[in-house]
Structure 1
Amino acid sequence: MNKEILKLALPNIISNLSVPLLSIVDVALMGHLESAHFILAVGFGTSLFNFLYWGFGFLRMGTTGLTAQAYGNKNRPETFYLFFRASLIAITIGLILILCRSYLLQLGLPLFDTSPEVEASLVAYYNVRIYAAPATLMGYVIIGWFLGMQDAKIPMILTILVNTVNISGSFYFVKYAGMKADGVALGTVLAQYTGLVCGGLFLLWKHRSVSAHFDWEKIIHWPAIKSFLQINLDIIIRTLCLIFTLTYFKIQSGNMGVTVGAANIVLLEFFTIAAYGIDGFAFAAESITGKYFGAGKYNKLKMSIKLCFLWGIGIGLLFTGIFYASGTDILRMITNQEPVYLMAQDYLVWMIFSPVLMVIPFIWDGVYIGLTASKAMRNSMLIATVLCYLPAQFVLSNYYHNHGLWLALMIFFLARGITQTILAKSFIPPK
């Protein structure tokens, strides 16, 4: 079973680590411009799109869990119907986001009480990147579906391709075309549509029978759509809580000054690197637990959960070691602005602790998604956000300022892991 887990996890780790590389390049491109406000603008812009896109992360997570269960149950036609249903929802949402782009911007801007220079760059970033919405959401569906089909290689290839195009495009538009935050956004748009086209080609190549299962009546079968949406409503609530926590952290950081805000956004790149590495085993947990749950093989289900946790803890400790040994070198690579670099150095210690604290909630997320235990996942996130993070952030930031912000974020991850462990007993089959 270790071999089966690694077969799913390693491609996910490789592809996932290209995501923070993209984020690092984006921040580094802004970090080497003439002002720190560009770093803050891209950081805020990323948070704004996290609200827009991560809220629809169910298009990946829900698709993976349901597809894995149908795969484990050997119901091949249903795996294709799930793909088409999710695709229909993704394209519809993406087009609505574009049509409502000006209203969404008006709603989002008040979240970031910042300087006119930062706001201008943020608006320029938003007005370009919003056009990637349909391709971004369809990318969630394609990757989620392949993972549910126990295929991690295609998502790896697609993710690396998209991020390579994104990095190359952003670098060209900023360094050679004279663009700034809008250049980073244009690189993202180009990459997302490249990924959509290539994902469609991979689907037709690997699963030639996909078109034979395009049965409109079964695809828009309302009970099936309703079940898909009910499960994913809980995932939406869970994801919005996570986005809120990270965005609120950035906003509070920015309220402490541009230098503190920029330093924290730079440090969050460490968090992103560790998160995507650990997520390799969380994604593996989604696929393998969903398959064994759908097949009714509960002993193997329990063993797969245990092994995913062991592997996750191992990679968490690895990142802790890397950040301890090379943290200052990574900081210098991201920014050459001395005030931001020196400020970030003072809080680097939090990045050393964070990977180990993230392992438990991340792996549990994978298990919960694979078993479609969406209500328990939602409840654990609400408890961690409302009852633990917000009170801790309010109290600790007043007494310990930026260290208090980071401590509250660590408490958030610890609270998630504890509540998920307690709630897991209610939905994992005893035999």
Structure 2
Amino acid sequence: MSPTSQRILHIAIPSIISNITVPLLGLIDVTIVGHLGSASYIGAIAVGGMLFNMIYWIFGFLRMGTSGLTAQAYGAHDLKEVTRILLRSNSISLMLALALLILQYPIRLIAFELIDTSAEVQQLATLYFHICIWGAPATLGLYSFSGWFIGMQNSRFPMFIAITQNIVNIVASLPFVFVFGMKVEGVALGTLIAQYAGLFMAYLLWLRYYRPLRKYISRKQLFTHDAMKRLFQVNRDIFLRTLCLVAVTVFFTSTGAAFGDVVLAVNTLLMQLFTLFSYIMDGFAYAGEALTGKYIGAGNRQELQRTIRHLFGWGIALSLAFTLLYGIGGKEFLGLLTNEQSVISASGDYFYWVLAIPLAGFAAFLLDGICIGATSTNIMLKAMVVASGSFFLIYYSLHNVLHNHALWLGFIVYLALRGIMQALLLNSSSLRTAR
């Protein structure tokens, strides 16, 4: 295996493990309340978890923006700027977390106006929300640390933190629920403790392995106009891009529900296959962030181009492998997720759309990572606007004829256009090799 591929896998594999591990926090909560004897508890955790996923998803720019900027400073061997980036990112994380805490009541009121639940589920979900919202400083702070670690070419620490959080969540939640009888509030407290345990571990790892950087901690040049302008420009583009992504995802789910419960179930199950593929490709996107930023910061165009070629080599190979895997065993995998024969039978009408996902979507993931590493986030935003606009145009043009197939056609085109547009825009502007 070439040294370039080894460097890619050194970052990608721990990132993939982290991606797979992160959803376990919610799964653990659901598993615990699933043994309390009432469906309302499961509903409350599901609603509360969905709400926090949406909130924190919007703030994902904290991780991505920090990653690209850090990688470029690392490649340039600018240790002062590397340290300042972490301080700036954590400062913004804290301010946003405080805003969420201050606005938690209107956020909750608006959310439950949009989410239709029973009175009992809403009451329990409200209790869960008002406990877990106090984890916002830890969660957003971890976004900054995770992005910084990845920018420093170190994806192992985010993996260690994610695994630790799951262990702490289990150890804390079980006694709260089954010993002290706290039920939903016990699960919420366990999650809250796990979030702060993750942040504490991130800080300890930083102190242990990056202690020499402490001498660069200073207010001098920390919040300069140029530095803050660049940071907010990068984060603004990623934020707006994420809003477009959320709009497509929410519309896909809610519109699928309008076609009936069976179609909704089919779409939900088939999207699990997309999610599985995304966990893998996101790992390689993180490698793209770290290595692209590093080589741009170092002004090393030759190694940058070599890395991009190897990333796409891995992307093509994995997309072909997933297409083959889904073609051979995808329907059997759906059988593991449900034994409802009407859903399994109906999935056959839409399954070929899943086979198109890997080849249509792999470039979008890889180019997202490359654009983040290059801090060419405006290209990501422009591509996402065109792709999401095409998604809605295709659906509204064809839904009367194709019905649910129009959703899937729009989604496949949306994935493909994200990659195509980014490739065209990157080609026309070229990747910068100097910060």
TM-score bracket relative to the smaller structure: 0.7 to 0.9
- SS at 1:219's partner residue? coil
State whether residues 125 and 185 of structure 1, in contact with CA within 8 Å, keep that contact through their aligned partners in structure 2: yes
What residue in structure 2 maps to residue 298 of structure 1?
Answer: 301
What residue in structure 1 maps to residue 273 of structure 2?
Answer: 270
What residue in structure 2 maps to residue 426 of structure 1?
Answer: 428
Are 1:99 and 2:102 matched, yes or no?
A: yes
State whether residues 19 and 276 of structure 1, in contact with CA within 8 Å, keep that contact through their aligned partners in structure 2: no
* Cα distance in 1 between the residues matched to 2:179 and 2:400: 44
Query: Highest Rg: 1 or 2?
Result: 2
Superposition map of 1:31-430 within 5 A: 45-112=48-115, 123=126, 126-166=129-169, 188-335=191-338, 347-385=350-388, 387-429=389-431
* Cα distance in 1 between the residues matched to 2:185 and 2:399: 33
Range with bigger deviation, 86-95 or 253-262: 253-262
State whether residues 237 and 378 of structure 1, in contact with CA within 8 Å, keep that contact through their aligned partners in structure 2: yes
Range with bigger deviation, 152-161 or 295-304: 152-161
Structure 2: unaligned runs, 5 residues or longer: none
* Cα distance in 1 between the residues matched to 2:260 and 2:100: 32
State whether residues 285 and 305 of structure 1, in contact with CA within 8 Å, keep that contact through their aligned partners in structure 2: yes
- What amino acid is the match of 1:427? S
Range with bigger deviation, 221-230 or 171-180: 171-180
Task: Give the fraction of aligned pairs with identical amino acids, expressed as a percent.
Answer: 39
State whether residues 62 and 369 of structure 1, in contact with CA within 8 Å, keep that contact through their aligned partners in structure 2: yes
Shift of 1:371: 0.4
**1:117-149 deviation per Cα after TM superposition (whole angstroms, max 9, x unaligned):** 775665455444323211111111111101111
**1:85-143 deviation per Cα after TM superposition (whole angstroms, max 9, x unaligned):** 10011011112112211211233344445676775665455444323211111111111
* Cα distance in 2 between the residues matched to 1:162 and 1:269: 23
**1:234-256 deviation per Cα after TM superposition (whole angstroms, max 9, x unaligned):** 11111111111111212222333
* Cα distance in 1 between the residues matched to 2:413 and 2:45: 26
- SS at 2:430's partner residue? coil
Equivalenced residue count is: 430
- What amino acid is the match of 1:236? F
- SS at 1:220's partner residue? coil
In structure 2, relative to structure 1, the CA distance for the partners of 1:367 and 1:32 (3 Å cut) is: farther
- SS at 2:417's partner residue? helix
What residue in structure 2 maps to residue 13 of structure 1?
Answer: 16
In structure 2, relative to structure 1, the CA distance for the partners of 1:116 and 1:318 (3 Å cut) is: farther
* Cα distance in 2 between the residues matched to 1:349 and 1:39: 32
* Cα distance in 2 between the residues matched to 1:338 and 1:31: 24
- SS at 1:425's partner residue? helix
TM-score, length-scaled by structure 2: 0.86
In structure 2, relative to structure 1, the CA distance for the partners of 1:62 and 1:304 (3 Å cut) is: same
In structure 2, relative to structure 1, the CA distance for the partners of 1:248 and 1:145 (3 Å cut) is: same
Shift of 1:28: 7.6
State whether residues 285 and 363 of structure 1, in contact with CA within 8 Å, keep that contact through their aligned partners in structure 2: yes
- Give me the CA root mean square deviation: 3.4
Structure 1: unaligned runs, 5 residues or longer: none
In structure 2, relative to structure 1, the CA distance for the partners of 1:263 and 1:35 (3 Å cut) is: farther
